[in-house]
Structure 1
Amino acid sequence: MILAMLAGLFLALCVFAALHDVNRLTIPNWLNLTLALLFVPAAAVSGVPMEIIGGHLVTALCAFMIAFGLFAFNIVGGGDAKMIPAVMLWVGPNASVQFLFVMALAGGACAILIILVRKTMPEEVVPGAIRAPFKEDAGVPYGVAIAAGVFAAGAGSPFLSEILSRISLFS
């Protein structure tokens, strides 16, 4: 029950991060830190063997190094580079390929949508709460893609599978 509550909070914060990223094109540090720190009590109450928890930690560490490189080359923003390893703690090695695949597809779809809207609609027509990505030279809110990847791949994680199985869309 406690694991389900922690996982539910984690998923809700992923949605919040996506919405915040759309609205402001940033993901706050406190949010990424919270996503990562929620893993500690989740791992403690889950009953998952230490070898699997270790695999999740190694996966997150690898994701951190790759995301840092992507940030260094200005491919992703700092908030995105911090959110990816934070969610990889929860997703783990078994679901990481599916997470990355869905994240990449969703990120590409977001980019295409933003480009199409920028070319066909004046910025003033877009509602204020979601206008930031549609401004000229604005970035892509990749928090949306990261959250999509979490929801798509989370069923493969021992920490997220129970809560996602309760949501009929993902069962």
Structure 2
Amino acid sequence: MFETIALAAYVGLVLFAAFSDASRLIIPNWVSIALTAIFPVAALIAGAPLLEVGLHLVFAFGVLALGFILFQFNIIGGGDAKLLAAVSVWTGFTAFMPFILWTAIAGGVMALALLTARSFIPVGTYPAFVDHLLKKQNGIPYGVAIMIGALMAIPSLPYLSSPLTLP
């Protein structure tokens, strides 16, 4: 039962982060904090050893450090770096590759689509929600790609895959 609640929280938070990033190019800090805070509780209730929970947190800290380096070079946004780390605490090392692979694929497709659209569709054509994405000075809402990677990685997550198992 609790694993299903944890899964719903995980999905809800990454969906909210993607929507927020797509609509305002901002991922609120509380989303990444909540994702990170829920993991140890969910993992311990699911029977994870305390050491393994700690290793997940250390791994996520490494992802956060790498994300901040990418942020310093203006490659990704600060919210993207924090969201990557928050999802990484759930993936740990074992499920990180499916997560980051799906994130990279989705991000590449999304960036290509947005850059193409920005070349052909004039600003002012669509409602403000969509129109701000067409402005060339705005960044790419990479939180959407992170959300796709986070959702596609669910079957590989060590402590969330059992609610998806059919009897």
Structure 2-normalised TM-score? 0.92
Name the residue aligned to 2:102: 102
Cα 1:53–1:74 shift into 2, 3 Å: same
Report the structure, 1 or 2, having the larger helix content.
Answer: 1
Alignment of structure 1 residues 77-96 onto 2, 5 Å = 77-96=77-96
1:63-78 matches, cutoff 5 A: 63-78=63-78
Tell me, which stretches of 5 or more residues in structure 2 are unaligned? none
| SS of structure 2 residue aligned to 1:125 | coil
Q: Distance in 2 between matches of 1:65 and 1:140?
A: 21
Q: Show the counterpart of 2:46.
A: 46
How far is 1:53 from its partner?
1.9
The aligned counterpart of 1:144 is 144
Contact kept, 8 Å, 2:21 with 2:141, in 1: the verdict is yes
Q: For 2:99 and 2:22, how far apart are their aligned partners in 1?
A: 20
> Which stretches of structure 1, 4 residues or longer, exceed 3 Å deviation after superposition?
163-166
Which residue does 2:133 correspond to in 1? 133
Q: Distance in 2 between matches of 1:116 and 1:69?
A: 28
Number of residues of Structure 1 aligned to a counterpart in Structure 2? 166
Q: Is the 2:98–2:152 Cα contact (8 Å) retained in structure 1?
A: yes
Any idea what SS the aligned residue of 1:26 has?
coil
Query: What's 1:61 paired with?
Result: 61
CA distance in 2, matches of 1:37, 1:146: 18
State the match for 1:169 in structure 2: none
Q: Higher mean Cα deviation, 126-135 or 81-90?
A: 126-135
Report which stretch shifted further, 42-51 or 75-84. 42-51
Q: Secondary structure at the match of 1:136?
A: coil
Please state how far the C-alpha of 1:118 moved relative to its aligned partner. 0.7
Query: Is contact 1:27–1:79 with CA below 8 Å preserved after alignment?
Result: yes
Secondary structure at 2:95's aligned position in 1? helix
Aligned to 1:22: 22
Query: Normalising to structure 1: TM-score of the pair?
Result: 0.90
Tell me the distance in 1 between the aligned counterparts of 2:63 and 2:29. 17
Equivalent position SS for 1:140: coil
Contact 1:61–1:85 (8 Å) recurs in 2:
yes
Query: Equivalents in 1 of 2:130, 2:41: separation in Å?
Result: 34
Structure 2: distance between partners of 1:79 and 1:122: 28
Give CA deviations for 1:97-127 in whole Å, capped at 9, x if unaligned: 1111111111111111101111111122233
| CA distance in 1: counterparts of 2:41 and 2:34, whole angstroms | 12
Does 1:154 find its partner at 2:154? yes
Matched, 1:8 2:8: yes
Structure 1 CA distance, aligned partners of 2:150 and 2:23? Answer: 20
Contact 1:15 1:147 in 2 (8 A): yes
* 1:134 maps to amino acid: L
Query: CA separation in 2, counterparts of 1:18 and 1:162?
Result: 25
Q: CA RMSD in A?
A: 1.6
